[in-house]
A and B are shown apart, each in its own frame.
Chain A
Amino acid sequence: MTLAKRIVPALDIKNGQVVKGVQFENLRSVGDPVTVAKAYEQAGADELVLLDITATLEERDTMMTIVNAISSVVFIPLTVGGGIRSTQDMTRLIKAGADKIFVNSAAVKQPELITKGAAIFGSQAIVGAIDVKWEPKSKFYQVYVAGGTQPTGLNAISWAKEMVALGAGELLVTSMDADGTKNGYDIDLYQQLTEAVSVPIVASGGAGKIEDFTALLKQTTVDAALAASVFHLGEIALPQLKQTLKKEGVAIRI
């Protein structure tokens, strides 16, 4: 056997609660991040991504408390990000129990943040996050920042290479075109990315059914598939997903 492909649920957290709520176990709505994280660990999640979508410093402290509480009872890797602007932000989250920190908009404004973070915590702890949109007229994948609201003019494939050169040990790449459609992952994007860089890639955006995971993990060499709503809404159960992938010949931890 070899390294297993990772299945990664993502939680958006605002004001100490999982946004949109999570519905599983008889569609009971659950908003407490610790309860949700523990349930995902027990269902077989290989890693969790926590995105802080709050804006104020006060709420940032709530996020530290949540990361500390989750890492006290959930023993799988935790990748945390959202609003990271300095190595102090990284230090606070890592001290709270995060294993990896992802940096998105701030890395475009101050690329040295990645290099500094990698120097302090090691490349394995710094994840470059990229939000990507295909531009049909000019035919390139463009990087967007500020929650996908601002185009940067950057080519996503070049920016991916740049982030790795700066010290990112992994990339978390979201296709904005696919995100929310439930029509499957953007296979072409991930094929281009895996050819361009040698670090692990986490694919995000578009998961709607089990076949979408199978297609991504069989047609590309990405290391991990991230999804949120299909898991939160109970549309795909992690144990069933992982069993199916294993049957399809994908290396999976059961």
Chain B
Amino acid sequence: MTIIIIDYGAGNIANVMKAIASTGLSAKLSHDPAEILSADGVVLPGVGAYGAAMSALNERQLIGPLQAYAKSGKPFLGVCLGMQLLFERSTEFGETAGLGIIPEDVVTLPQQQGYKVPQMGWNQNQVRQLNPITSTLNDTYTYFVHSFYVRTAPQYIAATVDYGQIEIPSVVVNDSGNVIGAQFHPEKSGKDGLLVWQSFKEMVDDK
């Protein structure tokens, strides 16, 4: 069983590796398209700017392989910026095309009285759709750090958190259910975060 963490220069991959390792899952960093396509599970991490991340994926010729992998039906988890990259586009500093695996877009969190941007801290998830990742998440607090959020149709939203007047999708899922994205950082969300990695491991085991 091989789990590949996409290596494209994204920040803090080390902490993702440490959290995955703590659940007894062995994962390998790679940017080799052949290795990615033959993986049993893929994790797309990410911290930082959307445009820079898409450029880095493009330079490593990973956009096509990631889109093909998503269509394979095998488990694919995007985390934080890695989740936002699953969408069609972002309006962060001008419009940037994303991977287009889940419909619609990524937009700036608007300023609201009493709510800071970025959202930085622990927020409480409300599960909208049960899937392998949301099965342990209802009412749990997970750790968020982000200034942008995704807008998409309800069928792609598996969990949300409230931030002022905005319902922020905290977990998203594609049509066939094999691609899941988490807006929060499971590697920084204590025991409830580790359960997300455990659930991902089970998704991979079940395939």
Contact = CB atoms under 8 A, between A and B. Distances in A.
Contact of B12 (A2, A4, A99, A253): A99
A169 B15 contact: no
Interface residues of B, number: 36
A209 to B, nearest CB: 24
A47 to B, nearest CB: 9
A44 B135 CA distance: 22
Interface in A2-31: 2-4, 6
A4 B124 contact: yes
Interface in B106-157: 114-124, 141, 143-145
A224 B47 CA distance: 23
Contacts of A41: 190
A2 B162 contact: yes
A71 B18 contact: yes
A76 B189 CA distance: 6
B114 A221 contact: yes
Nearest to B118: A124
A76 B116 CA distance: 21
Nearest to B141: A253
A170 B117 CA distance: 11
B190 A75 contact: yes
B22 A3 contact: no
A198 B116 contact: yes
B64 interface: no
The residue among B12, B21, B117, B161 with the most chain A CB atoms within 10 A of its own CB is B12
Interface string A97-122: 10100000000000000000000011
A180 interface: no
B193 interface: yes
A97 B15 contact: yes
B114 to A, nearest CB: 7
B164 interface: yes
Contact of B123 (A2, A72, A95, A198): A2
Given A1-B123, A200-B120, A221-B114, 8 more contacts: A72-B18, A75-B190, A94-B11, A95-B14, A97-B15, A169-B120, A223-B116, A253-B122
15 contacts: A3-B121, A4-B123, A6-B122, A71-B15, A71-B18, A72-B22, A95-B14, A99-B12, A121-B11, A198-B116, A198-B117, A200-B121, A221-B114, A223-B120, A253-B141
